[in-house]
């Protein structure tokens, strides 16, 4: 069961981790960009923030799941450390960019607060995980990495929830307001359960 769950997480992480490539190939009106104004899409600072967020976040999502394979971690510790460094750098870059673009979220204050809160949690847990391992506090490092990747995995859960919510509400905007919170709050609850389970 545990192995099957890990495989499912890996497949979803890789699939959505590669998803940002479509934004580069499909043009400026692909997917969520359809909800943005022409003025915002022309803003070079916002565009830099957006593409930094999806690119760095995609890389973090792509590599992060590898860190939770105990046998891989124990057998190839140097590889684990390399992947960890890549994850931390990309997660912090993606989180900072996500914090900025969160202020421009479609739908106003409610989704903005949702995405900004997610960015803060992702930045905090990733920084804490890094500082903990620097202090050789392995237990806290592992716990914070669970929370950090749960925040990162919001990219996956958002894309699972949004089509269902859009069908439920028959409208994108209310669905987007809900998914701005639903994409990460349950993830944190699951992370809390996993951390508690491990003791």
Give 113-172 pLDDT, tens digit per residue: 999 999 999 999 999 999 999 999 999 999 999 999 999 999 999 999 999 999 999 999
pLDDT tens-place string over residues 73-104: 888 889 999 999 999 999 999 999 999 999 99
- When mean pLDDT is compared across 22-26, 47-51, 191-195, the lowest value belongs to 22-26
SS3 per-residue string spanning the chain: CHHHHHHHHHHHHHHHHCCHHHHHHHCCCCHHHHHCCHHHHCCHHHHHHHHHHHHHHHHHHHHHHHHHCHHHHHHCHHHHHHHHHHHHHHHHHHHHHHHHHHCCCCCCHHHHHHHHHHHHHHHHHHHHHHHHHHCCCHHHHHHHHHHHHHHHCHHHHHHHHHHHHHHHHCCHHHHHHHHHHHCCHHHHHHHHHHHHHHC
pLDDT at 191 over 90: yes
């Amino acid at each position: 069961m545990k192995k099957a769950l890990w495989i499912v997480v890996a497949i979803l992480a890789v699939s959505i981790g590669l998803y940002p490539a479509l934004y580069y190939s499909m043009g400026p009106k692909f997917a969520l960009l359809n909800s943005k104004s022409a003025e915002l899409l022309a803003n070079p600072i916002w565009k830099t923030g957006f593409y930094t967020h999806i690119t760095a976040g995609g890389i973090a999502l792509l590599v992060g799941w590898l860190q939770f394979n105990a046998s891989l971690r124990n057998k190839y510790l140097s590889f684990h450390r390399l992947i960890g460094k890549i994850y931390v750098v990309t997660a912090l870059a993606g989180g900072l960019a996500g914090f900025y673009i969160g202020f421009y979220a479609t739908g106003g204050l409610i989704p903005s607060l949702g995405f900004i809160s997610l960015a803060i949690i992702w930045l905090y847990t990733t920084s804490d995980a890094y500082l903990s391992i620097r202090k050789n506090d392995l237990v806290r490092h592992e716990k914070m990495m669970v929370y950090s990747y749960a925040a990162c995995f919001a990219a996956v859960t958002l894309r699972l929830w949004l089509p269902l919510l859009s069908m439920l509400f028959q409208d994108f905007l209310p669905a987007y307001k809900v998914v701005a919170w639903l994409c990460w709050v349950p993830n944190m609850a699951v992370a809390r359960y996993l951390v508690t389970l491990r003791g």
